[in-house]
Each structure stands twice: as structure tokens, then as C-alpha cells.
Structure 1
Amino acid sequence: MTTDSLPDAPALPARRSGRNYRLLTAAAIITGLGTHGALIAAAFAVLQSGGDGGDVGLVAAARAAPLLLFLLVGGAVADRLPRHRVMVAANALNCVSQAAFAWLVLSGEAELWQMMLLTALCGTGQAFFSPAAEGMLMSSVDREQASRAFALFRMAMQGATIGGAALGGAMIAAMDPGWVLAVDAAAFAVAGALRAFLDVSHIPEREPGGGLLSDLRDGWREFIGRPWLWSIVAQFSVVVAAVGAAESVYGPLVARDELGGARPWGFALAAFGAGTLGGGLLMTRWKPRRMLLAGTLCVFPLALPPAALAVPLPVTGLCLVMLLSGVAIEVFGVAWMTAMHQEIPEEKLSRVSAYDWFGSVAMMPLATALAGPVETLVGRSQALWGCAALIVLVTAAVLFVPDVRRLTRATDGTKVALEPQERVSADPEGSVGRLG
């Protein structure tokens, strides 16, 4: 069966495309520096107010719950309204909530329910921001430069993550954590101002739809009609949960009991961060033709850190394993973003991105909550081996999906005319269009 090709949506002129990309990258670095320091500051603010580890967990859960609750709605809204306005509004909400959090902490009057409420508002802002931001980034780069642009963007984000955590830790050691929260509020204000200048004139006007529920159903059809998409999201719901349990719960315990304390675990996390930067640098040069196959093969190394902790390896070996897993996850991340950019229609990017985010992180809270009981039931080493085995099994299973193995990088600047539901019925083996 043959397929016709359609030209892409009107392209953004190179000068404005570069301007949008620079604004998005600069704003992401600013918020990344502020947010990752603020996450540490929030935990110390709870402890400073007289809370314990359970209270820290409640505040963290208050951020995660609305993120999961509103992600899908946020994706639909971002495809219905101009994305930069959704981003600015979300940044404004985050700015106000973090400023109020900072004021309460600095005044010494912060109560647990107030901190949970304000953190929940931050999670709500993130739920609306993330799908809009991903859709805006993908619509701001052309296909020829997409892989390199995504790699550089992710490198900037990873650098901001590392720098923000280090800066936040240093500031908390020198001053009240409320000031770190205040810096985060200011960062959201600056980033929102930058995002207000994004040029969206290249994005076609949205046609009137049938309402929010209709938009969500449309996004679901787009999502479920692509086997490569839903299968990898299902895979990552397990991978993210297993990695989260291993590194958020078991890793610090192994470091405390077997490796000499928090310092070696800090080295391991730093090695992972360095690996992500190295992986991003690699992907600025490497453009694998079968991008999802290459990316999925690079998920297997994510099983190595749980296995290394189960042994446990000495600090040097653990750091090498974490370095390798950092490189691997960036290869996957860039390949995944490139596939999304190539295959998903521009007007549905945010909705599909929201289903991606939701599916990928949905099991994370459950996994971290169950990590302790599982350790009690089977032992820490066995629980870690179980995490490694789950990662290997679900990743191997995804390789049986034909589209994952065959999806090929486009080189002609065109898109396939088949809709996803047509693709399923017309070509059950998934070999049309970009599938070689």
C-alpha cells in the first residue's frame, strides 16, 4: 500500500525559530536552577518547623498528587490555548505560591497544612506547564535540527539540575531555607517574563473543538493508535517506578549501611549527572537511523545501578555504573523527543505529551511507598535485584513491538498522511510511512 505525503505545518523562519529556542532554553535554565534548590529547601523548611521525616513525605506527596491529577487536563488546555500563555500563567502561579511559602518560612509561622497547600499549588502549576512547554519546544525547532536541538536543551536542563541542587545546598548551609524558596519565586518571575516574548505566529489557529473532554478523547486516540508510543510509555511506567524505588529509597540506605554514608551516594549521583551531560553531548553528533531501537537498547543499562546496589559494588564501581546509566538515559531521551517531534501532529503535541508524562510517572508514588514493606518482606538485596529484573523484562518486551524496531528517522521533511487509527487497520505490521 502506498501513502501520500503532506508538507509540515508552516515553518517558523530560522531567525524567529532560533529566538524562541534561546528564550525557552534560557527560561528553563533559570527555573531549573531555582526549582532544584527549592526542593531541598522545602524539606529543610519542614524539619526546621518541627516536622519529621513523615511530614517531609507528606509535603512531597502534596506536590505529586496534583501533578498526576491535572496533567491530562493541562495537556488539553495547552493544545486549546496559546501555549506560551499557559506557560506564563503556570509560572505566575508557581511564583506566587513559592513567594508565600518563603514568607511563611522566614517569618517562622509555617504550619504543615500551609506548606502542603502551597506545595500542591506548585504541583498544579507544573501539571499545566509541562505539556505546554514540551509542545512549545517541539514546535520551535525544524526537523533537520531537532535531534541536536533537543540534545543541547536537555544538556542545559541537566546542568541546571546539578547546579541548582549544589547552589541550593550551599545556600541552605549559609542561610535560612526560606531565602532559597524566595530565589525560586524570583526565578519563576524572570522565566515567565522571558516566555511571554515567545513568537507563536507560526502555529496555526486552533479550530473550535467539542470541549475539554472531546480534546482529551482525541488525544487518547492519538496516543493509543500508535503502538510504539503507548508501549514505551507502559514500559517506562515500570522503569521509572523501579529506578525511583532503587535510587530514592534503597540507594541512601545502602550508602549509609555499606558504603560509608551520604558522601559516597553524593558522588554516585554526581556521576549520573555527569553521564547525562555526556549523553547529551553524544546525541548532538549521533543521529541513529532507527532512533527508537537505539533508544530502547539504551534502557537496559538502567538495570545496572540497582544491581550494583544489590551486590553492593565499591564506590568506584557504583560511580562508573551511574555514569553509564546517565549516558544511556540521555540517548533514550533525545531519541524519544525526536520521534515525538517527527510523528505527532503539532496541534496534538501537548495532549500526547501529557499522556506520556502521566503514564511514565503514575506508578512512582506507589513504588516508593511500597519499597519499605517489600524490603521487610524479602530483604533489601532481593528487592534491588527485583528492580533490575523488572527493568530488563519490560525493556525486552518492548522490543517485540514492530514499530519500536522499525521507526526510522525522516530525511525528506514530510509527514505521513495516515491517521494513527487508519495506520492500525491499513498496515497491521506497522511498516508504512517512516517504518522501514
Structure 2
Amino acid sequence: MRPRESLGALGDRRFAWYFTARTVSTAGSVMVPVALAFAVLHIDQSAGALAQVLGVRTLTMVVFLLVGGVVADRFSRIVVLQVSHVLTGVTQALAAGLIISGHATLTQLTVIEGVNGAVSAFTMPAMMGVVPLVVDRRRLQQANALLSFSRSGLAIVGPAVAGLLVVGVGPGWALAVDALTYAVAIVCLARVGLPRRQEGAEARHSMVAELREGWTEFTSREWLWVVVLVFGVMNAIHVGVVGVLGPLIASSTEAIGEAGWGLVLSAEALGTVLMTLVMLRLRLAHPLRAGMLAMGVLAVPMVLLGAAPALVPVAVGFLLAGAAVEVFGVGWSTALHEHIPVAVLSRVSSYDALGSFVAMPIGTFLYGWLATSVDIETLVLVSAAVYVLVALSALASRSVRDLGRSVEDPAVDPAVDPAGEAAAGSAGAESTARP
């Protein structure tokens, strides 16, 4: 495939504007993990404090995910994203003001991040449901790779810049930039131009009925629920080791430090970008087989973080991890877009997110407690070993190993507008043939 053909998805005006909106909002968001982590640690230098803020954010997201999936399938996904961006921009601006002014407290940041978590429960299902509506089906993997390339390319610079801002002027300014980017993204989303939903195409069903339909679609595919199940465990380990213990180890190790941790996360993003260039041109015949094998590589930076907490080795480990995450991420998104009907895609993705993230608050709080009672090096190394075993266990399912690429469109709901946007009340759509 020629380089120009690799960018072909951007030839669609709707995808180009959506791509721009995602890129702009991501430019600020990639700085938030570093800025928020050290903002909390400046208030309370403990793993428990960081676990509290991150855990509450994840918990509120999990609580509202299923509602977010129904809302994204029932209403315009672009409008859902715009409203979510308004709320996120306001809360991030509030957090930035409190931190910059020196008045932020642990309770305030916990509440603000709790609100942000709830809002993200509506954002993620909506984003998953937009892509098949704004790009030709033949270019789905390409479109997903381009979005990942944008996100990862910015993530190379973002954490490093955030680390420098934390050291130079304080973490609040990174959050202020994030708030501003959401305002710009809202304008870009307005240019996507999805058609209006057809009025009266189908009577709306109750939220319970729509959730039941999404659950049926989710449970009827073994490859889907198996991967989500193992990711529930993997994410709990990852958020505990990288999200809680990582900043703690970095801030207490002169060889890494706060700015160094930003560089480490940038190295992870660099690995993702490099692999994205491959994914733009390489067609995954068995996306989940390749993805789950790749996910085992994430144990490498965990081992290095526990055994050799020095900047260069840890950064190299995260570089490899970033490449591995990209293989899975593009493969997983493409599998969902090719095998799940568009009319229920947001609801199915909300069950996906719920299963994948539900254990993250548990992992966050658990590792915050374990860090005070268990040797951290031992904890990290044992976690890495368990992570590899769990990742590879998914391949015991033949459905995961052998899932191929779809040659036919997922079943199209009769209430879907020919130009792409599902009409209100899509419950009852016929499901696609099982892989």
C-alpha cells in the first residue's frame, strides 16, 4: 500500500473533521495523567491518596457506562460527545483553577475526577459508535490506525511536556490546556455533519429492553466476552502497577523523578506511533490472536520498574509496551466495527468497557493498600507474571484465536439512515452472523 493510500480515510470530509476533533481534545488529555498524579502527590505524598482520586474516577465511570451506551445508541452520538466535552472542559478548568491558586484539596480533586469519570461513561460508547458512520467500511482498520496514530503521536510529547510543567510552573497549567482543547473540539464536531435521525422510524423501547438487547449481542459472541473477561483482570493489574505504583516509584527514585516519568510515558507513546505506521499498511488476518499475544509484552516494563527502576531501561520497556498495545487496540476496534451491528454498537461497547474497567477501582484501591504492607519490588514482579498468564489464557478460546476479518457488513438496522446515523429506538435489530 502506498503512503498516500494509507491516509485515504481522511478523504471523507466527515471523518476528517471527526479526526481533527479527536486530535485537538487528545492534545490536552495526554498531559492529564502526569499532571493529575503529581498534583495529588503534592497534596498528599502517599499511594493511598492517588488511589483514592483515580479509584473514584474509575468507579463513577463504571457505574454510568451502561446508561452511556443506551444514550449513545438512542441519540446523536455527535451531540452526546459535544455535551460530554462541555462538562469535561468545565470540570478540568475548575480543577486547574484550584491547583494553580493553591487552594486544591484531596477531597475537591476526588469529587471533580468523580464527575469526569461519570462523563467519560457517555463519551467512550459514543466515540466507538461514530467511526463506522463516517468512513467507508473498507477503510475501518485504516481509520482506527489513523486515530491511534494521532493519539499516540501527541502522547509522545504530552507526558513529557506535562512533566516539565509540573517541575516548572505546577500541574494546574496542564489541566488548563486540556480544558481549552475541549472547547475547540466541540466546534470541530459540529462540522462532522451526520444526518438527522429519522423521526418515527421505530418506537422507542425502554432502557431496560435496550440494555437487554445489547447484553444479548454481547454474550452471543464468545470471542467478545472472553477478551473482556481477561481484560478485567489485566486492567486491574495494570492500573495498580503503572497508575499507582509507577508515579510513586518514580517520585522516590532519583534515577527517574517526576520529569523522567513523563519521558517514560512518552516512550510508550513513541512505541505506539511506530507500530501504527506498520498497522496502516499491514492487514491483520486474525486481529485478536495477534492482539492477545502482543499484550503479554506489557509485563516487560512492569518487570523493569520493579527490578531496575532506572530511566533508560524502564523507558525501553514502555516503548515495547506501546507497540504491543497498538497491535491489540487497532485489532480490537476493527473486530467490533466489522462484527457488531452499528445500531447496537455503543451498547455493546459499553458492556465491553464495563467488563474491562469494572475491576480497575478494585485494583487501584488494592494496590494502594498493598503498597503500604508488601515489598513494592516483589509486588510488581509477581503482578507482571500474573499479567502474562492472564493475557495468554484468552487464546485457549478457539473463537478468540480464529476470529478473522468480516467480508460482509454487520446487519443494518431498518431504522438506520442510509447516510449512516441510526434512528432513535434501534432495539430489535437483527444481529450479524456469528463469526
Q: Give the TM-score of the pair, scaled to structure 2.
A: 0.83
**Superposed displacement of residue 305, structure 1:** 2.2
The separation in 1 between residues aligned to 2:61 and 2:101, in whole angstroms, is: 28
Q: Separation in 1 of the partners of 2:264 and 2:307?
A: 15
The residue aligned with 1:99 is 93
Determine if the alignment matches structure 1 residue 395 to structure 2 residue 391: yes
Match of residue 213 from structure 1:
208
In structure 1, give the amino acid aligned to 2:83.
Answer: A
Corresponding residue to 1:229 among 224, 230, 251: 224
Q: How far apart are 1:104 and its partner, in Å?
A: 4.0
Matches of 1:181 and 1:316, distance apart in 2: 28
Amino acid at match of 1:232: V
Q: Distance in 2 between matches of 1:383 and 1:138?
A: 42
Does 261-270 or 338-347 show the bigger shift?
261-270
Name the counterpart of 1:163. 157
Equivalent residues of 1:225, 1:421 under 8 A apart: no
3-state SS of paired residue (1:209): coil
Does 2:48 correspond to 1:72?
no
Distance apart, 1:237 and its partner CA: 1.0
One-letter amino acid of the structure 1 residue matched with residue 203 of structure 2: P
Return closer, same or farther for 1:232/1:57 CA change in 2, 3 Å cut-off.
Answer: closer
Amino acid at match of 2:82: V
Instruction: Please list the CA deviations of residues 221-246 of structure 1 after superposition, one character each: whole Å capped at 9, or x if unmatched.
Output: 11111100000011111112222222
CA apart distance, 1:113: 4.0
Shift of 1:188: 1.2
Give the alignment of 1:247-266 within 5 angstroms: 247-252=242-247, 260-262=255-257, 265-266=261-262
Q: Deviations over 1:115-169 (max 9, x none)?
A: 4333322222211111101111233222211111111110101122333323333
> In the alignment, which of 109, 127, 135 is matched to residue 129 of structure 2?
135
For residue 361 of structure 1, report the CA deviation from its aligned partner.
Answer: 1.6
5 Å matches for 1:383-422? 383-410=379-406, 412-415=407-410
2:325 equivalent in structure 1: 329
Counterpart of 2:359 (choices 360, 363, 372) is 363
Opposite residue 390 of structure 2, the aligned amino acid is V
Change (3 A) 1:42 1:273: closer
Judging changes above 3 Å, is the alpha-carbon distance between structure 1 residues 393 and 36 closer, same or farther for their aligned structure 2 residues? same
CA distance, structure 1, for counterparts of residue 262 and residue 9 of structure 2: 42
| Gap regions ≥5 residues in structure 2 | 1-7, 413-427
Q: Distance in 1 between matches of 2:41 and 2:372?
A: 26
Asked whether the 8 Å contact 1:222–1:352 carries over to 2, the reply is yes
The alpha carbon displacement at 1:400 in A equals 1.9
The secondary structure found in structure 2 opposite 1:139 is helix
Number of corresponding residues: 412
Separation in 2, partners of 1:223, 1:404: 14
Deviation at 1:27, TM superposition (A): 1.3
Q: Distance in 2 between matches of 1:252 and 1:172?
A: 13
Percent of aligned pairs with the same amino acid: 35
Equivalent residue of 1:299, what SS? helix
For 1:317 and 1:52, how far apart are their aligned partners in 2?
25
In structure 1, the residue matched to 2:79 is 85
Which residue number in structure 2 is paired with residue 11 of structure 1?
none
Which amino acid in 1 is paired with 2:193? D
Question: In structure 1, what is the Cα distance between the partners aligned to 2:317 and 2:67?
Answer: 38
Shift of 1:386: 2.4
Question: Structure 1 residues 329, 37: CA separation in 2 closer, same or farther (over 3 Å shift)?
Answer: closer
2: CA distance, partners of 1:250 / 1:60: 12
Asked if the contact 2:267–2:318 (Cα under 8 Å) also holds between the matched residues in 1, the reply is yes
Given that 2:9 and 2:136 are in contact with CA atoms closer than 8 Å, whether structure 1 keeps it comes out as: no
* Structure 1 portions without partners, runs of 5+: 1-13, 424-431
Question: Which segment is superposed worse, 365-374 or 169-178?
Answer: 169-178
- Structure 1 position 29 matched with structure 2 position 23: yes
In structure 2, the partner of 1:280 is 276
Deviation at 1:20, TM superposition (A): 1.9
Structure 1 residues 395, 140: closer, same or farther in 2, change over 3 A? same
Q: Could you say if the C-alpha distance between residues 240 and 107 of structure 1 is closer, same or farther in structure 2, counting changes exceeding 3 Å?
A: closer
Assess if the C-alpha contact under 8 Å between 1:35 and 1:184 holds in 2: yes
Alpha-carbon displacement from aligned partner over 1:258-279 (angstroms, at most 9, x marks no partner): 7834266555433222111112
- Could you tell me which residue of structure 1 aligns to residue 114 of structure 2? 120
From the superposition, tell whether residues 92 and 372 of structure 1 become closer, same or farther in structure 2 (CA, over 3 Å): closer
Q: Partner of 2:25: helix, strand, or coil?
A: helix
Q: Contact 2:9/2:142 (CA < 8 Å) preserved in 1?
A: no
> CA offset at residue 201 of structure 1?
2.0
Shift of 1:251: 3.8
Q: Which segment is superposed worse, 272-281 or 174-183?
A: 174-183
1:202-227 deviation line (CA, Å, top 9, x unaligned)? 87776333211221111111111110
Cα distance 1:174–1:249, how it changes in 2: closer, same or farther (>3 A)?
closer
TM-score calculated relative to the size of structure 1: 0.83
The change in CA–CA distance for 1:247 and 1:121 in structure 2 (over 3 A counts) is closer
CA shift in 2, pair 1:203/1:165, >3 Å:
farther
The answer to whether the Cα contact below 8 Å between 2:255 and 2:310 also exists between their aligned partners in 1 is no
Q: For residue 45 of structure 1, report the CA deviation from its aligned partner.
A: 5.0
